[in-house]
C-alpha cells in the first residue's frame, strides 16, 4: 500500500483553514453561506481527479461517482464539511508537528493551553507520528474535514489505479451535520447506494453501528412585563421562571458532565431573552426510545410544575425528533458492519465497536433506508481548542476505505490477493 501521509497532511491543513462553521439559528440550507465555498472547491477537485457525475445539489451536498471496475454493490462514502458551532472556528491556523516526541504540546496563540499525553492517553501512543492541531484559539475542524481528506485521497488513488477491483462508489460531502441537518430528505435517492459509511469516527479501529437517539426541545417562557418601578404584584419575570426550570432538572444524574457509557442526558445548550420572554434550548439523548421519551416527559413535567406555580406566565415546551439509534435498523442486517470488520482485519487493525455518545449523518441515513455505519478517522478532542489528529491514523483510515471496496468486490480469499 503506498504511503498517503503527505497528501493527507496537505489536504487536511488546506481544508481546515477554510471557514465552514454551521449555525443552528439559520433557516437556510446550508445554514451558512461559507459552506458553499468548500462544497464548490471539493466539487472542482473531484472533477479534476476524474470522478464522474459530479454535482452540487441545491440542498448543499456534493455528489460524485467512481465507476466500478468489478461487480459489486454500490457503496457510499460520506463526510461533512461543516465545523461545530460550540467553539470558535473562524480563522483556523492548522499546525503540523512532525515526529511528535511524546511530550506535552503547547499552542502559539494560547500560551497557557497544554495538550498532555498524561491527560489524554491516546496521544501517548502516537510518539513519532505527525500530529496536526490548531493554534490554540480555535478548534481544528478535523471533525469532519479529516473524513473529507480521507475520502478524497482514496478517491484519487482509485481513479489513478483502475486495476484495483471495486464496485461503483458514490461520494457525498454534506453540510450542517453538526446541527443535525446534514441529510436532506432527497439524499438517500440521490446517493443511490446499497449501503454507505461515514468517515466521522475517532480512534483507529472504531466501527460504530450504534448511536444516541436524539430529540431537540425549545421551552418558551413568557412573563408579564411592566416597568420595574411599578412592578409590585404585577411583574412576572421570565428570567426567574427560566432559572427555576433549569434548577429543577436533574443536576447530578442526567447531565452530560455526570453521565457516561450508555447513560443519556438532558442538556441545556442555550438561553436567550430577557425579563419579558426567555427561550431555552435543550438536547435530549438516550440510546433507547423509552429512555428518550422519559427525558422528554421529565422536561415537560418540570415546565408544567413551574407553570402551575405562576399561572400568569405562559410556558410552552416543544419537542422535535432529530435522529434515532442506527442500531435499530443495522442489527437486522449487519452486512456493512461485518464487511468493515473484515476490511479492518485485512489491513491489520483490530475493529472495535462501542456506542457513539452522539450521532452522525449515518444515523439519519440508516433510519431513512440506507444502512450507514461510522468508521474511524483518528480525530480526538473535537469541538474545542485541544482538537488534534495523527496523519498516520488518517492513512490507516484511507487504507481501510480501499480495503473495504475490494472486499465488497471480491469477498473471501480471492480479495486478499488483490490490490
Confidence (pTM)? 0.92
Q: Does one domain contain both 161 and 299?
A: no
Q: Does one domain contain both 332 and 189?
A: yes
Q: Does one domain contain both 15 and 151?
A: yes
Q: Does one domain contain both 203 and 233?
A: no
Question: C-alpha 19: how far from its chain's center?
Answer: 17
The CATH number linked to 42 is: 3.40.630.10
176 is in an annotated binding site: no
Q: Does one domain contain both 395 and 311?
A: no
Q: Where is the domain boundary, 276, 296, 322? A: 322
Element (H, E) at 44: helix 34-48
Q: Does one domain contain both 113 and 82?
A: yes
Residues marked active site are found at: 82, 177
Q: Where is the domain boundary, 306, 322, 338? A: 322
**What are the 10-residue block averages of pLDDT along the chain, 419 residues in total?**
88 98 94 98 98 98 97 97 95 98 97 96 98 98 98 98 97 95 96 98 97 96 94 95 97 94 95 97 96 98 97 97 95 96 97 93 96 98 97 98 93 41
The CATH number linked to 285 is: 3.30.70.360
Q: Which residues contact 222 (CB under 8 A, 6 or more apart)?
A: 238, 276, 277, 313, 314, 315
Q: Does one domain contain both 273 and 334?
A: no
Per-residue model confidence as pLDDT tens digits over 14-67: 999 999 999 988 999 999 999 999 999 999 999 999 999 999 999 999 999 999
**Cβ contacts of 262-269, under 8 Å, gap ≥ 24:** 262/287, 262/355, 264/212, 264/291, 264/292, 264/295, 265/295, 266/295, 266/298, 266/299
Which pLDDT does position 3 carry in this prediction? 84
- How many CA atoms lie less than 13 Å away from 8 in the CB half-sphere? 26
* Cα(206)–Cα(349) distance, integer angstroms: 10
157 is in an annotated binding site: no
Q: Does one domain contain both 403 and 270?
A: no
Which pLDDT does position 245 carry in this prediction? 98
Number of domains composing the chain: 2
361 is in an annotated binding site: no
Q: Coil, helix or strand for 9?
A: helix
Domain span holding position 281: 213-322
Q: Does one domain contain both 402 and 390?
A: yes
Under DSSP, the state recorded for 416 is G
Q: Where is the domain boundary, 269, 289, 322? A: 322
Cα angle 271-272-275, degrees, rounded to a multiple of 5: 110
Which pLDDT does position 411 carry in this prediction? 52
Which pLDDT does position 2 carry in this prediction? 64
Q: Does one domain contain both 120 and 189?
A: yes
Q: Does one domain contain both 36 and 130?
A: yes
218, 318 Cβ separation under 8 angstroms: yes
Q: Does one domain contain both 353 and 308?
A: no
Amino acid at each position: 500500500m503506498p504511503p498517503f501521509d503527505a497528501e493527507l497532511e496537505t489536504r487536511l491543513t488546506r481544508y481546515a483553514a477554510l471557514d465552514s462553521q454551521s449555525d443552528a439559528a439559520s433557516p437556510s440550507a446550508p445554514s451558512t453561506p461559507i459552506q458553499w465555498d468548500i462544497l464548490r472547491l471539493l466539487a472542482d477537485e473531484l472533477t479534476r481527479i476524474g470522478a464522474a457525475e459530479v454535482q452540487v445539489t441545491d440542498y448543499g451536498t456534493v455528489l460524485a461517482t467512481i465507476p466500478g471496475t468489478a461487480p459489486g454493490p454500490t457503496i457510499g462514502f460520506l463526510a461533512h464539511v461543516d465545523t461545530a458551532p460550540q467553539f470558535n472556528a473562524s480563522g483556523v491556523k492548522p499546525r503540523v508537528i512532525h515526529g511528535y516526541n511524546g511530550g506535552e504540546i503547547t499552542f502559539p496563540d494560547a500560551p497557557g493551553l497544554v495538550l498532555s499525553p498524561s491527560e489524554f492517553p491516546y496521544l501517548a501512543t502516537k510518539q513519532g507520528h505527525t500530529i496536526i492541531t490548531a493554534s490554540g484559539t480555535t478548534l481544528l475542524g478535523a471533525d469532519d474535514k479529516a473524513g473529507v481528506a480521507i475520502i478524497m485521497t482514496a478517491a484519487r488513488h482509485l481513479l489513478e489505479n483502475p486495476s484495483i477491483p471495486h464496485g461503483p462508489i458514490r461520494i457525498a460531502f454534506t453540510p450542517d451535520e453538526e446541527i443535525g441537518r446534514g441529510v436532506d430528505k432527497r439524499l438517500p435517492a440521490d446517493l443511490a447506494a446499497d449501503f454507505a459509511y461515514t468517515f466521522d469516527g475517532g480512534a483507529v479501529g472504531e466501527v460504530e453501528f450504534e448511536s444516541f437517539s436524539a430529540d431537540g426541545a425549545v421551552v418558551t417562557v413568557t412573563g408579564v412585563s411592566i416597568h420595574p418601578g411599578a412592578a409590585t404584584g404585577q411583574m412576572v419575570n421570565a428570567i426567574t421562571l427560566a432559572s427555576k426550570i433549569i434548577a429543577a432538572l436533574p443536576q447530578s444524574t442526567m447531565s452530560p458532565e455526570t453521565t457516561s457509557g450508555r447513560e443519556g442526558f438532558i442538556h441545556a445548550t442555550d438561553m436567550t431573552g430577557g425579563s419579558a420572554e426567555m427561550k431555552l434550548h435543550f438536547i435530549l439523548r438516550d440510546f433507547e426510545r423509552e429512555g428518550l421519551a422519559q427525558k422528554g416527559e421529565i422536561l415537560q413535567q418540570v415546565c408544567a410544575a413551574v407553570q402551575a406555580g405562576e399561572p400568569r406566565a405562559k410556558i410552552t415546551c416543544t419537542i422535535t425528533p432529530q435522529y434515532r439509534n442506527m442500531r435499530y435498523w443495522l442489527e437486522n442486517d449487519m452486512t456493512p458492519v461485518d464487511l468493515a470488520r473484515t476490511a479492518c482485519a485485512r489491513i491489520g487493525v483490530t475493529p472495535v465497536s462501542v456506542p457513539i455518545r452522539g450521532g452522525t449523518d449515518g444515523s439519519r441515513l440508516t433510519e431513512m433506508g440506507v444502512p450507514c455505519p461510522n468508521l474511524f478517522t483518528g480525530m480526538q478532542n473535537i469541538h474545542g481548542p485541544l482538537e488534534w489528529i495523527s496523519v498516520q491514523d488518517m492513512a490507516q483510515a484511507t487504507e481501510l476505505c480501499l480495503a473495504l471496496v475490494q472486499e465488497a468486490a471480491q469477498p473471501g480469499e480471492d480479495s486478499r490477493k488483490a490490490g
